[in-house]
């Protein structure tokens, strides 16, 4: 079964969440069931870019990962778009056989039986500012499908309403390691691929989020920026 691939790049470091700083190759799939207002990867989301997504088999994807990694197994990060829309079980089986480990990030809108084959699963349901609705039933189906994967919850926070939503949601899943991430105030877009992020505003949001979390004594929440945005300023392919 073929997988819609937007880009494969790396090795670089993971810039977000539980595996921040870990060397990884990114496999980005094309196509998404969401359209978040502040999406920073619209080239892997909007149907008008469909022609840019290459259908690839698991073997061809792994061959490219192997070329980039120099044949030394590392963490492969499956991102999108929503990678949960793709048939990734064969890639996982093939990659594991060669010593690779796999992390995937998804919004939790579609569960697949193969989630349980992942080493790490980041569920990142979208907050009110995204314009997308949260579907608890689907989210919990994803959680259940995760099985033995290391599951963490990563919530993007753009404003006070998002923060309150995140607090309530996280309270319902006390068993999940929790990461809060300030929303990039100036993501690159297909129209402005070279757009520089507003580092000052990003830092202000981060400081606000730290103050909010510590002020509420919400010590379970881990606060992390998108490191790659701070380091590479929205650049693609790093």
Nearer Cβ to its own copies, position 191 or 217? Answer: 217
Q: How far is the CB of 214 from its own copies (least distance, A)?
A: 4
Q: How far is the CB of 138 from its own copies (least distance, A)?
A: 28
> What CA–CA distance (Å, rounded) separates 155 from 219?
15
Rounded alpha-carbon distances, angstroms, from residue 103 to 28, 79, 124, 186, 211 = 12, 9, 13, 26, 30
Q: How far is the CB of 227 from its own copies (least distance, A)?
A: 7
Q: How far is the CB of 211 from its own copies (least distance, A)?
A: 9
Nearer Cβ to its own copies, position 165 or 179? Answer: 179
Exposed, middle or buried, 191 (CB in 10 Å: 0-12/13-18/19+)? exposed
The residue among 34, 46, 44 whose CA lies nearest residue 156 is 34
Nearer Cβ to its own copies, position 141 or 210? Answer: 210
Nearer Cβ to its own copies, position 32 or 223? Answer: 223
Q: How far is the CB of 70 from its own copies (least distance, A)?
A: 5
> What CA–CA distance (Å, rounded) separates 54 from 4?
5
The residues that touch its own copies, with contacts defined as CB under 8 A, are 10-13, 20-23, 69-70, 72-75, 179, 199, 203, 206-207, 210, 213-214, 217-219, 221-225, 227, 230-232
Nearer Cβ to its own copies, position 48 or 72? Answer: 72
Q: How far is the CB of 215 from its own copies (least distance, A)?
A: 9
Nearer Cβ to its own copies, position 17 or 31? Answer: 17
Cα dihedral sign, 223-228-234-238: negative
How many CB atoms are closer than 10 A to CB 47? 11
Cα dihedral sign, 180-184-188-190: positive
The residue among 38, 42, 41, 35 whose CA lies nearest residue 129 is 38
């Amino acid at each position: 079964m073929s997988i819609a691939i937007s880009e494969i790049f790396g090795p670089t470091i993971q810039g977000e969440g539980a595996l921040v700083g870990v060397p990884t190759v990114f496999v980005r799939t094309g196509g998404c069931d969401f359209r978040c207002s502040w999406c920073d990867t619209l080239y892997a989301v909007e149907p008008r870019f469909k022609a840019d997504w290459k259908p690839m088999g698991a073997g061809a994807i792994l061959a490219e990962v192997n070329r980039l990694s120099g044949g030394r197994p590392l963490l492969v990060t499956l991102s999108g778009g929503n990678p949960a829309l793709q048939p990734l079980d064969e890639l996982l089986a093939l990659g594991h056989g060669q010593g690779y480990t796999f992390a995937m990030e998804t919004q939790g809108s579609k569960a697949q039986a193969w989630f349980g084959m992942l080493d790490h699963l980041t569920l990142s349901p979208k907050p009110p500012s995204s314009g997308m609705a949260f579907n608890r039933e689907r989210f919990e189906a994803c959680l259940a499908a995760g099985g033995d994967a290391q599951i963490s919850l990563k919530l993007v926070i753009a404003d006070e309403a998002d923060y309150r939503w995140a607090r309530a949601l996280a309270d319902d899943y006390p068993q999940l390691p929790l990461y809060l991430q300030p929303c990039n105030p100036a993501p690159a877009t297909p129209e402005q691929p070279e757009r520089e992020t507003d580092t000052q505003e990003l830092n202000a949001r981060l400081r606000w989020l730290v103050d909010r979390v510590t002020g509420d004594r919400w010590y379970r929440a881990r606060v992390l920026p998108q490191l790659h945005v701070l380091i590479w300023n929205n650049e693609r392919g790093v």
